[in-house]
Amino acid sequence: MKKVELINVSKSYDKQVNVISSINVTIEPGEFFVLVGPSGCGKSTMLRMIAGLEEITEGTLKIGDRVANDLPASRRDLSMVFQNYALYPHLTVQQNITFGLDVKRMKKEEQRAKAKEVAEMLGLTEYLGRKPRELSGGQRQRVALARAIVGETPICLMDEPLSNLDAKLRAHMRSEIRRLQRKLGITMIYVTHDQVEAMTMGDRIMILHEGKIQQVGKPIDIYNYPANPFVATFIGSPPMNLAPATFDKKTNELNVANQIKVSVQTDDLELGEGQNITVGVRPEHLQPVTSNDDIKEQFEVEVTNVEILGNETVFSFQMGESEWMAKWSGQWHIEIGDQLPVKLSYDSFSIFDSASGQLMKKAVDHGHYASQSGVSP
C-alpha cells in the first residue's frame, strides 16, 4: 500500500488561469478516497495528473515517499479504470484482462492463472472466451476493473466508471468495488459527480468546485457539518434548504426570509444586530407537528409539490424567494395547496456568514448510535 500526497498542486493550460488551484491533500495507504464535484470542477484533471497523463504546472506530487512529478505513467506503479472501459474489441475477455501483464513479460501460464483468479473474484469466469461486444455494460465494467487489479498495483484510479450503467447495476457495482478494495487493501482514488456514490463508497471525500477544495472529510461529517453553502447544497438528496436571515438582538430571534422567526437558544453564537447570515436546514429536520410540541417552533406552509416515494414523502413549499423541501418518513396523504403545520428547531440550523460563506454554527447531530447491547433509542 502507498499513500499519495499533493502539495500546493496547480494546473494551468494557458499559464494564466488555473483549472486546479493550490491542492493540498494526503491520501492514506489503503484508503478509499473520493473526488466529487460538478462537471468542470477539475476532478478528472486532478486524477490524470496523479496518473501521469497530465503535467503538473506547479507543486509537488508524491507517490509513496517518491516525488513523481517527472515520472512517466508506466513507472508510477498504479492502474486506472476509465469511464468508457477502453477495452480492445478484437481481444477476448481473458486477453483484455492480461494485456498489461504482457508488457511486464510475465509467463503465459502465470497470466492465465492470474486472469482466472481475478475472473472468479468478479464473476467473469464463464465470459473469459468472449469478446467485449458480447457482454453487457456491467460485464464490460467488470472486465475493465479486472484488468486494473490483475497487476496488483498498490494504487488504483477510477474516473467515473459507473456513469454509463443503469441505476440498479450502478448500486450493485458500488458495493462490489468497495468490497473488492477492502479485500485487496489497495489505495483507491475514485472520481464521480454523483454525491450518492461519494457518500456510500468513500472513507473520505474531497469536494471540488472551480478547481478549489471546498471540504475534505468523512462523508457523514460533511453531510452534518458542511463547510459552506455550496457543500450544503451539493451533498444531500434533497439538498439542504437555504435562506437569508438577520438577527434581532432585542428579541434574540432570527428573522428567516422575512417569513418566520426562530429563537436563538445559545450565547455561543456571536451575531451583531441586523447581521446578514444564511441559515440552512436539512429536509428531514422539518418535522410534522405533534400535540406535545412547543408552539414557538411551529409555522404553517402551503404545499407546492409532493413526491410520495413509498417509504418517505417529500413536499415543497415557498420560503421567501426560495423553495424549501421537507422529507417525512412514511406515506403522507398530502395534496398541492394543503396548509401544513411544520416544526423547526433552532438546533437543526446550520448558520453561514453571508459574505464569506464560512460555517458559524453547526447543526446538532441527530444521528442514532448502536451499542453492543443493541440499538440506542
Digit-coded pLDDT (tens) for 335-375: 999 999 999 988 999 999 998 999 998 998 767 776 555 55
The answer to whether residues 207 and 333 belong to one domain is no
Residue 374 lies in a domain: no
List the single range of 142-146, 169-173, 214-218, 293-297 with lowest mean pLDDT: 293-297
Which of 84-93, 252-261, 274-283, 315-324 is the most confident on average? 315-324
Q: Kindly report, residue by residue over 159-178, the tens digit of the pLDDT.
A: 998 887 788 888 888 888 89
Residue 377 lies in a domain: no
What would the grid cell of residue 361 be?
A: 454554527
Residue 370 lies in a domain: no
The answer to whether residues 27 and 172 belong to one domain is yes
pLDDT for res 268: 67
Residue 275: give its domain's CATH number: 2.40.50.140
Give mean pLDDT, residues 15-43: 93
In DSSP terms, which residues pair with 6 in a beta bridge?
25, 61
The answer to whether residues 191 and 263 belong to one domain is no
pLDDT for res 45: 94
Residue 371 lies in a domain: no
| pLDDT level of residue 58 (50, 70, 90 thresholds) | very high
Classified as helix, coil or strand, 280 is strand
Q: Which of 190, 208, 230 is the last residue in one of the domains?
A: 230
For the cut 60, the answer to whether the pLDDT of residue 231 exceeds it is: yes
User: Distances from the Cα of 176 to the Cαs of 58, 138, 280, 336, in angstroms?
Assistant: 36, 11, 35, 41
Contact predicate 288/343, CB 8 Å? yes
For 189, residues 6+ apart whose C-beta sits below 8 A from its C-beta are 4, 27, 33, 34, 35, 47, 50, 155, 156, 157, 158
pLDDT for res 28: 96
Residue 55: give its domain's CATH number: 3.40.50.300
Give mean pLDDT, residues 177-181: 89
The answer to whether residues 202 and 242 belong to one domain is no
Contact predicate 35/209, CB 8 Å? no
Q: Which value, in Å, is the radius of gyration of the alpha carbons in the chain?
A: 25
Contact predicate 6/61, CB 8 Å? yes
pLDDT for res 244: 95
The total of other beta-carbon atoms located within 10 Å of residue 59's CB is 17
For the cut 70, the answer to whether the pLDDT of residue 115 exceeds it is: yes
pLDDT for res 252: 84
Contact predicate 23/46, CB 8 Å? yes
pLDDT for res 14: 86
Q: Kindly report, residue by residue over 72-106, the tens digit of the pLDDT.
A: 998 899 999 888 888 999 999 999 999 888 777 78
Question: 170: part of which helix (H) or strand (E)?
Answer: helix 167-184
The answer to whether residues 91 and 213 belong to one domain is yes
Q: Which of 201, 230, 259 is the last residue in one of the domains?
A: 230
22 by Cβ neighbours in 10 Å (0-12 / 13-18 / 19+) ranks as middle
Give mean pLDDT, residues 269-291: 86
The answer to whether residues 177 and 249 belong to one domain is no
pLDDT for res 290: 83
The answer to whether residues 283 and 299 belong to one domain is yes
Percent above pLDDT 90 for the chain: 58
| pLDDT level of residue 59 (50, 70, 90 thresholds) | very high
Give mean pLDDT, residues 296-321: 92
> How many domains is the chain partitioned into structurally?
2
Give mean pLDDT, residues 56-63: 96
Mean per-residue pLDDT over the chain, rounded: 89
Classified as helix, coil or strand, 190 is strand
Q: Which of 186, 207, 230 is the last residue in one of the domains?
A: 230
Residue 94 lies in a domain: yes
The answer to whether residues 101 and 208 belong to one domain is yes
Top pLDDT among 302 and 294 is at: 302
The answer to whether residues 346 and 298 belong to one domain is yes
Residue 216 lies in a domain: yes
What would the grid cell of residue 172 be?
A: 450493485
The answer to whether residues 223 and 235 belong to one domain is no
Residue 375 lies in a domain: no
The answer to whether residues 213 and 254 belong to one domain is no
CA pair distance 5, 50, nearest whole angstrom: 9
The answer to whether residues 39 and 104 belong to one domain is yes
Give mean pLDDT, residues 273-286: 89
Give mean pLDDT, residues 12-20: 89
Residue 373 lies in a domain: no
Task: Give this prediction's pTM.
Answer: 0.89
pLDDT for res 267: 65
Start-to-end CA span in the chain (Å): 40
Domain that holds residue 254: 231-365
